[in-house]
Homo-oligomer: A and B are copies of this chain.
Amino acid sequence: MSGQSEKRRRGGGRAGNAKRRSASEINQMPWHLPVNCDPPIAPLTDQGVEAIHEGAMHILEEIGIEFLNPEACAILQQAGCTVRGTNVRMDRHFVMDMVSKAPSQWTITPRNPDRKLIIGGRYILFGNVSSPPNYWDVKLNAKVPGTRETCQNLIKLSQYFNCIHFVGGYPVEPVDLHASTRHLDVLYDKLTLSDKVAHAYSLGRERVEDVVEMVRLAGGWSDAEFEASPKMYTNINSTSPLKHDFPMLDGWMRLARRNQGLVVTPFTLAGAMAPVTLSGAVAQSIAEALCAVALAQWIRPGAACALGTFTSNVDMKTGAPAFGTPEYMRATQMTGQMARFYGLPLRSSGVCAANVPDGQAMWETSNSLWAAVQSGSNMVYHAAGWLEGGLIASPEKFLMDCEILQQIQRYMDPDLVATGAQEIALEAIKSVGNDGHFFGTAHTQERYSTAFYQPFLSEWSNFEGWEASGALWTPERAHALYQQILAEFEPPALEVSRRDALADFVARRKREGGAPTDF
């Protein structure tokens, strides 16, 4: 079957599908910070944890990491590290001393204090897909560059769904906006269309400082208030193997000084930028991450850091990256053990290699999201909307992923496994006996509306009922619902003075030319 027949299957006079479900009827779970009540899966023995730690320490002590930022090198030299050119070696006592200063749990408070997040402990929080250059939806049925409009639409979804806790990077890169001022427009959109925790790309001084200022203005904070506790965060990626580049380090140090959230996520594809063996890839990833944590702690003892994992494997036949694989799951769990060893919060991701929101997309994404649960992850990036190894953002995939996220949150509800007398329900069992039905009992009726998770996207009617309602496959149902959510979207409240301050800031910075670009 080709794309054409796929299109045929989707078409066929199904007028009215878009009106089939109303967004206002979505049975969303309320906003809350889910607590992961399952013990983590720990595939490494204590000796295994020790071996990876030893490997990471050896890398830091004997091989060194390239810091392509003179300021960072100078700081680390001052801290006692061995700096030769851009190569920085640090001994384990320094690293562990610095890491020990990092809090195991910290908070981020966005402009709406009700959206405050706790990063660490048993909390597991989810964020939208970030940074794909391209966009796909069911109606287009094509991969196209991201635009401000599609970026706004995905920000609206991020705000709409209570299971999305933070708005990470751009949910799709709006390439119709000039790179020098793109960050101003997207952050304006993000801070006006959403009141959830926002993020700054560490892609140059101006971008970081502009975003910091906009987050501060949106929150109505003084500089002192802004810096009293994290109000936003950044995520940096090492340039694996064994390298941190200039702008990432620059942003990292700026935000450390401003006391904001700091997530470091080496992108260590085993067999490509890291050893083909998972424990080697994890050891390298840990080394690349810990040296950044050490830098932040030297600058600001107690800086709010988190350890990110993005260790996956490649298709060894083609070099293509793979996601949501068994290897990905184990690497995520292993890194979780290391994060607990170092007392740092863990960030992982919801990922897949699939190009469209089909069965493969959902088994790969399910694998990665359950690995996030199993690893004890505290922040789950890209948890909704990701396709094609992060090169495509899709609103249908966003809704499909949110259905899984809500199920994970419901899975963590301790009521599900309660075993009090009311739950064992012997009276109800006795009253129904062997010839009845539980639906009509008081025990059932009292719990009728809240007993079970109610999906907003899953189709639970039988085949005939499903056919009668249009025979819509999951992405088609998601598309209709997405359109409804957009049509009914209302931005969260924002004081007019703060909105004006943001608009004025954007206008001024645009007049000044924004951030320098190479083009």
- Hey, which bits of chain A sit against chain B, CB under 8 A? 1-3, 6-7, 9-10, 17, 37-39, 41, 43-45, 47-48, 51-52, 54-55, 58-59, 62-63, 65-66, 87, 134, 136, 138, 141, 143, 241-243, 270-280, 283-284, 313-322, 325-327, 329-330, 334, 353-367, 370, 388-389, 391-392, 400, 403-404, 407-408, 410-411, 413, 416-420, 422-426, 428-430, 432-439, 443-444, 447-449, 451-454, 457-463, 466-467, 470-476, 479
Contacts and interface: CB of A to CB of B under 8 A. Distances in A.
Contact of A2 (B51, B364, B404, B471): B471
Contact of A460 (B320, B408, B422): B320
B358 A358 contact: yes
A3 B388 CA distance: 24
B143 A358 contact: no
A280 B430 CA distance: 11
A388 B462 contact: yes
- In the complex, the 9 A-B pairs of residues with the closest C-beta atoms, listed nearest first: A280-B425, A366-B366, A275-B425, A326-B411, A359-B474, A3-B471, A362-B362, A48-B419, A55-B424
26 contacts: A6-B317, A9-B141, A39-B39, A51-B424, A62-B430, A63-B426, A63-B433, A66-B434, A242-B429, A270-B452, A273-B437, A276-B438, A276-B447, A280-B425, A283-B425, A325-B452, A325-B453, A330-B416, A354-B458, A355-B466, A357-B359, A358-B474, A359-B359, A363-B404, A391-B462, A392-B463
Nearest to A48: B419
A16 to B, nearest CB: 12
Contact of A407 (B41, B326, B359): B326
B52 A277 contact: no
B355 A426 contact: no
Contacts of A243: 434-435
Given A272-B439, A330-B417, 18 more contacts: A2-B470, A6-B476, A43-B416, A43-B417, A62-B430, A134-B463, A136-B463, A271-B438, A271-B439, A275-B423, A276-B443, A279-B418, A318-B460, A322-B460, A325-B452, A326-B408, A358-B358, A359-B400
A275 B416 contact: no
A444 B275 contact: yes
A318 B65 CA distance: 60
Contacts of A47: 419
A457 to B, nearest CB: 7
B315 A460 contact: yes
A277 B450 CA distance: 11
B357 A389 contact: no
Nearest to A331: B416
A454 B318 CA distance: 11
